[in-house]
Structure 1
Amino acid sequence: MAPVDTGAMNVTSLHIALISETFPPEINGVANTLGRLSQGLIQRGHRLQLIRPRQLADEQQASDEHLLLTRGWPLPGYPGLQWGQSSLHKLLRRWQRQRPDVLYIATEGPLGLSALRAARRLGIPVVSGFHTNFQQYTGHYGLGLLTRALTRYLRWFHNRTRMTLVPSPSQRLELQRRGFERLMLLARGVDGQLFHPSHRSPELRASWGLGQDDIAVLHVGRLAAEKNLALLVRSFRELQQRFPQQRLKLVLVGDGPLRAQLQEELPQAIFCGVQRGTALAEHYASGDLFLFPSLSETFGNVVLEAQAAGLAVVAYDQAAAAQHIHHGHNGALAMPGDEQGFIDAACWLLEDRESLRSVRLNARQHAGKQGWDAIVAQFEHLLQDASSAHITDEKKPRCAGA
């Protein structure tokens, strides 16, 4: 380790190994977060080693000192993604040659478990991240009996790391109640230059069949059971019934196993598929109202992205929404599980044009201040603390027989 000037203060340059099942250019909240954190750490002078399963797009990609690709299995329900296989001996050999100062394990599958075991064997400190509520997904896929077992495994896994980073106070409280220990808050940010109202496109709106004064009701995310999309359908239909004089169009950005079913239920809706970069920013900014009915998020990056693009967001009062939406000021909230409350919140936003305009302006103003720089700096110091504490522990004298 060597000192590096990050611009604000001198900190120790770290050799960090990041282990994850998913990483950009894959499109999901975990990949987006890890991409931002990794880029920020590299810019701040740290050395990063990425360990992830080989994906379909990696046919010509070779491992090197900064990247270790492992074998993987296809992940059911997630076309194109691979579930990393256990790689204990491969990781032991690599880390004996190039020992990291600290590990960050973002996913708890076989690859993450083998990294945890290798690190414990070699005495390398580990920080973990709780990025996905896998224990909540089981019920949506007919595997409810596994929920308790999966929760026990996740608790066992994370409690064997030096600390677990969680994205929201509500997530931290839920995990504390389930016996998870040493939980630290690491929020999420948004690229306020990419996601910006200036990307609003009259041409895109026209392709949706909407004029300047019409309302685009937007949803961005994976079209899957865990996203509570039945409420999205119900909410939009009630908006149509309550505001028959208003031209409304439901626009869905993303893909997933429920797409075909939703297209049958919503023949008039616009299905845009997966969008990236500037195209995604244009889709956000060309919307007006953003419905986010999910109850399974650890955070929900799309909430901040929609706010940054100047949309009025309707969501449940948890995760990102609980942190970043002040009901009636820069969005609208419903109590978790209150479906009628969610629908009423959406309808309230369309009752008055001036109120909708004010909420959208306030949303942009708030989200524009939620950049990634401070979050990367916090992540850096948490990793530094884990590494320094481990060195201190190793130097402590041990009692005979300990």
Structure 2
Amino acid sequence: MRICILAYRFPPTIGGLQTYAYYTARILAEEGHEVSVVTETVEGTDAEWPPGLPCPFAIHRLPSLKPFVHGRGSLFACLGELRATLTALRPHVIHAHDPLSLLAANLAWTDVGTPLFFTFHWVFDAHEAGYARRDYGAGRLNRSETLGLERSLMRFIFSRCRYERLIAVGPPFLRWAESFGAPPDRVVYLPNGVDCTVFHPRSPDPMARAAWGLEAEDLVVLCPVRIVPRKGITDVTRALAALDDPRIKLLIVGSIRPREAAYAQEVRDLIVQLGLGERIRLVEGVSLDRMPALYGLSDLVVLPSYMEGLSIALLEA
């Protein structure tokens, strides 16, 4: 069967959606299906596929997908690229991993004989705390107007777009799906999971710690998050400052997108301001295949997010 995974984020960048989409594609390919992933373009070091990460599927990166999803690009440019790609792939099934990719698939691929599935990952309550994703014309709309437009768009997508099943990966997503008007008979609760052959308890490796500049007697706290405000990174930084023990070390590991560069710099400045440069490391560009070793060398994993759906990072830990 030819299966198209449509996800605006995908490895080498890391995050919950990327992890879910990657393992979905990998498992389906290993079961003998012809899997193609349609996703965003990546640049710089993020463009290098990790050598330790199996890739038994094809990846098609569309330059117009990420700008469209973030509200900074043309819908028509995205539809043109997506339609051409899907025409070449001729998928038997399309599996979208975010609402706007689902919308684009509905508009670009009008063959109603192709089943569409939709896994719902996006966290919405964080928007109400002031972290809206889309701009809708920066400088022209205030936060409440932006959120109102986004919620109206989500209601349209969930209630009017074509999809066979909506897969909710955690309890909050069931609530949001209902609030956005998803037909109850098409909603399936299938919680996030992890590969227990990869993520399992292991003894701390002194050599692995040394590679990260850590001592055997250090108490290592791992914070595996995307570097965005809703993940509460400044809070955990201040919490470490209150623990006056130089043996407690914090590894903040995650991806930094260009739009979050200013926040990442805010975190770095706070680390310097609090005199924690020897106790905190903010590391980006760690690929998915390196995460099991990081969990293994850590004594504690923290996730100080203001809101999560069903965190894959916590399940991995």
- Is the TM value for this pair above 0.5? yes
Of residues 252, 259, 280, the one that matches 1:270 is: 280
Q: Any stretches of 5+ residues in structure 1 without a counterpart?
A: 1-13, 307-402
TM-score (norm: length of structure 2): 0.73
Aligned-partner SS, 2:202: helix
| Alpha-carbon distance between aligned partners in 2 of 1:283 and 1:85, rounded to the nearest angstrom | 42
Q: Is the 8 A contact 1:135 1:147 kept in 2?
A: no
Partner of 1:5: none
Partner of 1:290: 301
Q: Is the 8 A contact 1:222 1:254 kept in 2?
A: yes
Q: Deviations over 1:305-336 (max 9, x none)?
A: 22xxxxxxxxxxxxxxxxxxxxxxxxxxxxxx
Q: Is the 8 A contact 2:64 2:78 kept in 1?
A: no
Partner of 1:163: 165
Partner of 1:125: 115
Q: Deviations over 1:266-307 (max 9, x none)?
A: 33232141322554322221211221121333322110122x
| Alpha-carbon distance between aligned partners in 1 of 2:154 and 2:148, rounded to the nearest angstrom | 10
Partner of 1:103: 94
Q: Deviations over 1:311-369 (max 9, x none)?
A: xxxxxxxxxxxxxxxxxxxxxxxxxxxxxxxxxxxxxxxxxxxxxxxxxxxxxxxxxxx
| Alpha-carbon distance between aligned partners in 1 of 2:65 and 2:3, rounded to the nearest angstrom | 26
| Alpha-carbon distance between aligned partners in 1 of 2:76 and 2:18, rounded to the nearest angstrom | 19
| Alpha-carbon distance between aligned partners in 1 of 2:16 and 2:117, rounded to the nearest angstrom | 19
Q: Is the 8 A contact 1:74 1:83 kept in 2?
A: no
How many residues are matched? 280
| Alpha-carbon distance between aligned partners in 2 of 1:249 and 1:140, rounded to the nearest angstrom | 29
Closer/same/farther in 2, CA of residues 262 and 52 from structure 1, 3 Å limit: closer
Q: CA deviation at 1:225?
A: 0.7
Of residues 121, 132, 136, the one that matches 2:126 is: 136
The AA in structure 1 aligned to 2:166 is T
Percent identity for Structure 1 against Structure 2: 21
Closer/same/farther in 2, CA of residues 51 and 223 from structure 1, 3 Å limit: closer
| Alpha-carbon distance between aligned partners in 2 of 1:177 and 1:74, rounded to the nearest angstrom | 26
| Alpha-carbon distance between aligned partners in 1 of 2:312 and 2:75, rounded to the nearest angstrom | 24
Q: Does 1:44 align with 2:55?
A: no
Q: CA deviation at 1:90?
A: 5.0
Closer/same/farther in 2, CA of residues 115 and 146 from structure 1, 3 Å limit: same
| Alpha-carbon distance between aligned partners in 2 of 1:122 and 1:93, rounded to the nearest angstrom | 17
| Alpha-carbon distance between aligned partners in 2 of 1:208 and 1:281, rounded to the nearest angstrom | 18
Q: CA deviation at 1:17?
A: 2.0
Q: CA deviation at 1:23?
A: 1.7
The AA in structure 2 aligned to 1:229 is I
Q: Is the 8 A contact 1:17 1:49 kept in 2?
A: yes
Of residues 233, 254, 277, the one that matches 2:237 is: 233
Q: CA deviation at 1:22?
A: 1.7
Q: Any stretches of 5+ residues in structure 2 without a counterpart?
A: 49-56, 133-141
| Alpha-carbon distance between aligned partners in 2 of 1:255 and 1:100, rounded to the nearest angstrom | 31
TM-score (norm: length of structure 1): 0.59
Q: Deviations over 1:150-169 (max 9, x none)?
A: 12212321332222111112
Partner of 1:180: 182
The AA in structure 2 aligned to 1:219 is C
Matches within 5 A, 1:2-401: 14-56=1-43, 67-72=59-64, 86-92=77-83, 95=86, 99-109=90-100, 112-120=102-110, 122-133=112-123, 136-137=126-127, 139-140=130-131, 143-159=143-159, 160=161, 161-181=163-183, 182-198=186-202, 200-205=204-209, 208-212=213-217, 214-238=218-242, 240=243, 247-256=247-256, 257=261, 258-266=263-271, 267-268=275-276, 269-274=279-284, 275-277=286-288, 279-306=290-317
Closer/same/farther in 2, CA of residues 162 and 152 from structure 1, 3 Å limit: farther
The AA in structure 2 aligned to 1:70 is L
| Alpha-carbon distance between aligned partners in 1 of 2:298 and 2:47, rounded to the nearest angstrom | 37
Q: CA deviation at 1:35?
A: 0.9
The AA in structure 2 aligned to 1:172 is L
Q: CA deviation at 1:15?
A: 2.3
Q: CA RMSD in A?
A: 3.6
Closer/same/farther in 2, CA of residues 235 and 28 from structure 1, 3 Å limit: same
**Larger relative contact order, structure 1 or 2 (CA cutoff 8 Å, min sep 6):** 2
The AA in structure 2 aligned to 1:292 is L
Q: CA deviation at 1:219?
A: 0.7
Q: Is the 8 A contact 2:5 2:37 kept in 1?
A: yes
Q: CA deviation at 1:261?
A: 2.2
Aligned-partner SS, 1:198: coil
Between Structure 1 and Structure 2, whose CA radius of gyration is higher? 1
